[in-house]
Chains A and B, each alone.
Chain A
């Protein structure tokens, strides 16, 4: 009974703002259709649409392949070699994962672009910031860290004695890799490659800015049908096609995960690491060092370039804070129609509200799910996680069609943006909170029960305080998601100018033609990107470090 009430709130939320909008999309695509299949036949007959589907599939497959080919050796190095600053590198390897996509695009342009630090001197380097190769480079940037760390983690979950036994039994290095390393790494690599595939298939920001007219993905095509041509029916039909492709993939992946559950053998000794130069041979050390430099150079040089370009004048090369002056000048306001301060305020407003809302809904969802039986939990899992397969563009379009647009229910635009952010962050936040709650010892909850404590009292006094870290992480995820959200904001931009956020502002600054040569807007875009990075880093640090620091002050263990 109590469980029904608790789960009812997030369920109602999803029903109103995820499933009803989805129904609105379906309704839109069939509005004037003569038959059930007609809208699909019609949309799939368009050469541009077919091309977009082909582009999405191509970019997704190449990204997945590239990520696996680069990520597996990199993960192997992280797992099996010891070198200075290894742990630090491993933590920092996750940073790109939390960066807003548009910021990374700006970073790549400022390093490899025509006027970039490398691209200016080295013409071939420009391919990393434009066209298909540029898209693949940025996709690799985003997904490499994940595959690398997943591979390293699954390799570390091998017992050292197993490795020793294998060594004693002899066999070539190739046999060792094929029979030992690959089976261990397989699940991590495939999970990472699939995430990269979905990421690239749903690609929006990167193909929109880097790809040019020939590399438009499905997501970009939906966007332009909706935004530029107001072809709502076509956009809706295409969104459904995309959703079906992704749902099929997700189902296949879940099936595979269930079939290939890793064995539960206990790890007594983690496998040893070879110290570079000392224990590894010289050739081995040279190769590994070169690989490390390449990977971390690839991950961190663009961010460095972004930082540098915010403080260097493009034309003179002089050190200055001109970019920030431009960012807060009337010239920028002319482009954005709102002041930059307003943009920052908007961004923080959405991010704070998203964090608050998504954590509240997430707690209710996670807490309720824990009290369901295995079957109920499976169902709730599916219901709560379907939004994960809905792309941000689809979410924003559905919200618009259902709650604004032709609907008489007419919500203002800022709640639509907020809801879109919450929906994008929701699946990950619930997952984070469910796994935190699963780690709360059952007997602590039982103890509270025998002490006369009822459910709500228990939640606030035992369970939530015990998952403080998980709560903070969930809030950080919600905050960062909203901060970096671009696709949904950009789709709603025509009706949401007063609510412009940082990501959209950066995009406007990038695509608006320079009005006068003494006010280079690209510099302002770099400055805004740097601000956004610092903002998300500060909040992430505060939310994830504060509880740890507080506990350290109490002199207590984790």
Chain B
């Protein structure tokens, strides 16, 4: 089983601005934690702190009850799959995978056995003598994962490794990463800005913005019970507010005030509704048909039944009235 990782009050600045702002987080042995947030929220910096590539200004990192804050990255037993993959262009696939084993002076026979095993597990058989630039994008991803897994790290970090892969392949690779994680039992942290990917891969989600972790919990719980307007907005709720204000604005942490949070199915388009907006358009999403409304408090996504959709098709661009069945009031 993988190691138990604990971050205590990590703090890091870039120039004057904090990029990791007093983050405390516990990652359980063997779980896959998806760290999700918009770009610039400090996710990658947090990963590099954990890997030891950066040093925190304050706070500490504990692995299985041992303080590793001052341990150099090479001795941490924490692997990292880079966003750029960072494969060694001068080495073959087999040598890339074997790099960490060689660094640990694993005997040759054992090393070769391990490489062969990883080649097979990641469907890379027959490619061992190729160089990275002779591989497809998906094959490169697999080599990067195999290379990080080879030295059997206690914790494996993924820094948006699928960011530059096309949609079909991304779906396939997500399944592979999930299966691989379950099989290896390593503790994992997976960084992404895509909420869907995070919810698919993560045993738990940690939602991060502006250097702070806003909420941690299983995907279903975070989706059902967002604790802040920011998290609600990030997982797909409509957020209006601050309450009483008329200007549409996205919630940005630090603004303060109460926000009105509405799930798309909780809004109904009815002539008796108390509010008014302009119907922008209707589209099909994996969750069903959605209408978009422009209101003085911001843009709203509304879930529609199919018959409702056909009724509204002719009304695009005109004013409609709406109300809501249920709403949450949350702080920023």
Contact = CB atoms under 8 A, between A and B. Distances in A.
Among A441, A452, A454, A465, residue most surrounded by chain B Cβ atoms (within 10 Å)? A452
Contacts of A554: 131
Contact of B86 (A446, A465, A468, A557): A446
Contacts of B104: 452
A350 B72 CA distance: 42
Contacts of A448: 88, 99, 103
B75 interface: yes
A443 B80 CA distance: 11
A555 B72 CA distance: 37
B293 interface: no
Interface residues of B, number: 33
Among B89, B148, B151, residue most surrounded by chain A Cβ atoms (within 10 Å)? B89
B133 A556 contact: yes
Nearest to B102: A461
Given A447-B88, A554-B131, A452 B103 contact: yes
B133 A557 contact: yes
B20 interface: no
Contacts of A457: 103
Interface string B58-101: 00000000000000111111111010101111110000000110
Contacts of A453: 74, 99-100, 103
Among B84, B86, B91, B131, residue most surrounded by chain A Cβ atoms (within 10 Å)? B86
Given A556-B131, A556-B133, A557-B133, A450 B88 contact: no
Interface string B122-135: 00000000010110
B150 to A, nearest CB: 8
A468 B91 CA distance: 13
B89 A466 contact: yes
A452 B90 contact: no
B103 A450 contact: no
A452 B100 contact: yes
Given A451-B147, A452-B151, A461 B99 contact: yes
Nearest to B147: A451
A434 B103 CA distance: 25
B324 to A, nearest CB: 48
Contact of B151 (A451, A465, A555): A451
Among B88, B100, B102, residue most surrounded by chain A Cβ atoms (within 10 Å)? B88
B86 A449 contact: no
A451 B48 CA distance: 14
B169 interface: no
Contacts of A468: 90
A446 B53 contact: yes
Nearest to A452: B103
A449 B102 CA distance: 13
A444 to B, nearest CB: 5
A447 B80 contact: yes
Contacts of B134: 555-556
Contact of A454 (B48, B88, B103, B131): B103
A121 B148 CA distance: 75
A58 interface: no
Contacts of A441: 84, 86
Given A443-B82, A457-B103, A556-B134, A449 B74 contact: yes
A388 interface: no
B51 interface: yes
A450 B80 contact: yes
Interface in A436-482: 441, 443-444, 446-454, 457, 461-462, 465-466, 468
Contacts of B88: 444, 447-448, 462, 466
A116 B297 CA distance: 91
A452 B133 contact: no
A66 to B, nearest CB: 45
Contacts of A452: 74-75, 77, 100, 103-104, 151
A555 B74 CA distance: 33
Interface string B300-319: 00000000000000000000
Given A443-B82, A450-B51, A466 B90 contact: yes
A500 B53 CA distance: 53
Interface residues of A, number: 22
Nearest to B80: A450
B89 A450 contact: no
Nearest to B98: A451
Contacts of B52: 449-450
A452 B73 CA distance: 7
B163 to A, nearest CB: 14
A466 B132 CA distance: 14
Given A466-B89, A555-B134, A450 B79 contact: yes
A466 B72 CA distance: 23
Contacts of B73: 446, 449-450
Nearest to B131: A556
A450 B76 CA distance: 8
Contacts of B133: 556-557
A468 B90 CA distance: 10
Nearest to A446: B53
A450 B189 CA distance: 15
A461 B89 CA distance: 12
A466 B131 CA distance: 13
Nearest to B82: A443
B89 A447 contact: no
B103 A447 contact: no
Contacts of A443: 82, 84, 86
Contacts of B148: 450-451
Contact of B100 (A446, A451, A454, A462): A451
A461 B98 CA distance: 12
A443 B87 CA distance: 9
A447 B86 contact: yes
A450 B53 contact: yes
Contacts of B86: 441, 443-444, 446-447
Interface string B38-66: 00000000001001110000000000000
Nearest to B150: A451
Nearest to B48: A446
Interface string A539-558: 00000000000000011110
B124 to A, nearest CB: 17
Contacts of A466: 88-90
Interface string A152-195: 00000000000000000000000000000000000000000000
Contacts of B74: 449-454
Contacts of A556: 89, 131, 133-134
Interface of B: 48, 51-53, 72-80, 82, 84, 86-91, 99-100, 102-104, 131, 133-134, 147-148, 150-151
Given A443-B84, A448-B103, A452-B77, 5 more contacts: A444-B86, A448-B99, A449-B73, A451-B148, A454-B103
20 contacts: A446-B53, A448-B88, A448-B99, A448-B103, A449-B72, A450-B148, A451-B74, A451-B103, A451-B147, A451-B148, A452-B104, A453-B74, A453-B100, A454-B74, A457-B103, A465-B91, A468-B90, A554-B131, A556-B131, A557-B133
- Nearest 6 A-B pairs (CB), nearest first? A451-B100, A443-B86, A453-B103, A447-B86, A449-B73, A452-B103
